[in-house]
Amino acid sequence: MRIPRVDEGALSPATIQALLDGGVSRAVDWALEHSPWNRARLQAAGVRPDSVRGVADLRFLPTTSKHDLAAAGRDLWAVPQAAVVDISTTSGTSGEPTLCPMTEADLQRLAENERLSFTCAGLAAADTVLVAVTLDRCFMAGLAYFMGLRALGASVARVGSGSPALLVDMVQRLAPSAIVGVPSFFEHTAHWAAGQGIDLRTSSVTRLVCIGEPVRGPNLAPTPLAARAAAAWGARLHGSYGISELAASTCECAQGAGGHLHPSLLHVEILDERDQPVPPGELGEVVATPLGVEALPLLRYRTGDIAALLPGPCGCGLQTPRLGPIVGRKHQALKLKGTTVYPAAVQRVLDAEPGLYGYVLVARSDGALSDSLEIKLALREGEDPSSGLRARLQGALKVTPTLTVVEPQAIDALQQAGVGRKRRVFIDER
């Protein structure tokens, strides 16, 4: 499928709506014609070719869950194996990693997505950018960044995520303007550099494009980790949010007011508990339909992430819709004494505690309608158990979880016992 290459700065609300309507209509027709699993479901819902004319007709279609995607397997694929040129997997933080096949056109679309995202972050052909994430381990994002920067015409060095020494060395040799990576790696690298007598605040780097960890809380204020990384590098942080299954991402502009969506490539709905759309500014589940995809056509895909579409135009002048920070994951929502608490909110409090070595959250069921939360935490050497932490948790969450202090080795073992590429900080025993 051919993707319209757009200049998002020139898009009006009317052209954005036309892109979304045309993209949704073509996505449904493609899935109906080429994907056996989708065809069966769409026919059962009474959908015929050309019957979905645009975004407004999406509400007649069933949603697709992560479980559906895993259960359908290759029945969902819309191209023969011979047309597939790249296969990556999801990160597997919630269940088995899922295969994400892509055709040559899908790879071009992936590159276009990141070209648009980096453009939002203010990058252009003249920039030199270090990619400090892994490009292997079946990881889609690293490949996407490389291809997107190449499409932008920027100079790229694939530094990877393994070595602070290599990253700092390449910063000094190449004088890059930006780095793509994980906020905790940026902080770790700044700490390492300081130990070598190197002050990264005086380096050429002015932008850090962040993936993997949230850089803002619900009120758009930087997370403690993001604030520390920005200060250590003397650079602006641009948060991005990507979903491998959708081969799509958002990226913040310089306003830091939500991630800009790319309407030529993705349509996003925010749905409440009853699957009804909520108004801009209200939280709900992010349900997305990727546009222009060939191999893995997903319609109304339930990401499980909770966020809001942000109302009003952005100060940067772009008219494209913006997605606010992810405040939590739907299936992780905890009912604590009648209050809904997301583990991400607990993590924000814990990440701000300088004396903590590490932590793991353990959720258990307390009965039919109620959960309990235990925080296992380890303290840095010489630190006292923080009495203020209990009060800060109470202030942020309105309830106080059980705190258990353990040895650092116990935290390391719990965090590494999970599957997937990310360290495990939430254990759900419900």
Q: Which of 15, 51, 63, 255 binds Zn ion (CB under 5 A)?
A: 255
Q: Which two tokens stand for residue 34?
A: 């080429």
Full strand arrangement of the beta sheet holding 328-329: 266-271, 284-290, 301-307, 328-329
Q: Which of 168, 171, 193, 314 binds Zn ion (CB under 5 A)?
A: 314
Q: Does 11 bind Zn ion (CB under 5 A)?
A: no
Task: Choose the binding region for Zn ion from 18-26, 64-72, 90-98, 253-261 (rule: CB under 5 A).
Answer: 253-261
> Do strands 402-405 and 371-379 pair parallel, antiparallel, or not at all (unpaired)?
parallel
Q: Which of 28, 111, 253, 287 binds Zn ion (CB under 5 A)?
A: 253
Q: Which two tokens stand for residue 426?
A: 């939430």
Residue 370: Cβ within 10 Å count: 12
Provide, rounded to whole angstroms, the least separation between the CB of residue 321 and Zn ion.
Answer: 11
Provide, rounded to whole angstroms, the least separation between the CB of residue 9 and Zn ion.
Answer: 10
Nearer to Zn ion, 84 or 215 (CB): 215
DSSP letter for 270, please: E
Provide, rounded to whole angstroms, the least separation between the CB of residue 312 and Zn ion.
Answer: 11
Q: Residues 181, 187, 192, 197: is their CA dihedral positive or negative?
A: positive
Nearer to Zn ion, 163 or 206 (CB): 206
Q: Backbone phi, then psi, for 40, in 5-degree steps? A: -60, -45
Provide, rounded to whole angstroms, the least separation between the CB of residue 113 and Zn ion.
Answer: 17
Nearer to Zn ion, 80 or 315 (CB): 315
H/E stretch holding 60 reads none
Tell me which residues in 315-334 interact with Zn ion (CB under 5 A): 316, 318
**DSSP per position, 114-162:** HHHHHHHTT--TT-EEEE-S-S-TT-HHHHHHHHHHHHHT-EEEE--SS
Binding residues for Zn ion, rule CB under 5 A, total 5
Task: Choose the binding region for Zn ion from 58-66, 308-316, 346-354, 387-395 (rule: CB under 5 A).
Answer: 308-316
Task: Choose the binding region for Zn ion from 209-217, 222-230, 307-315, 387-395 (rule: CB under 5 A).
Answer: 307-315
Catalog residues that contact Zn ion under the rule CB under 5 A: 253, 255, 314, 316, 318
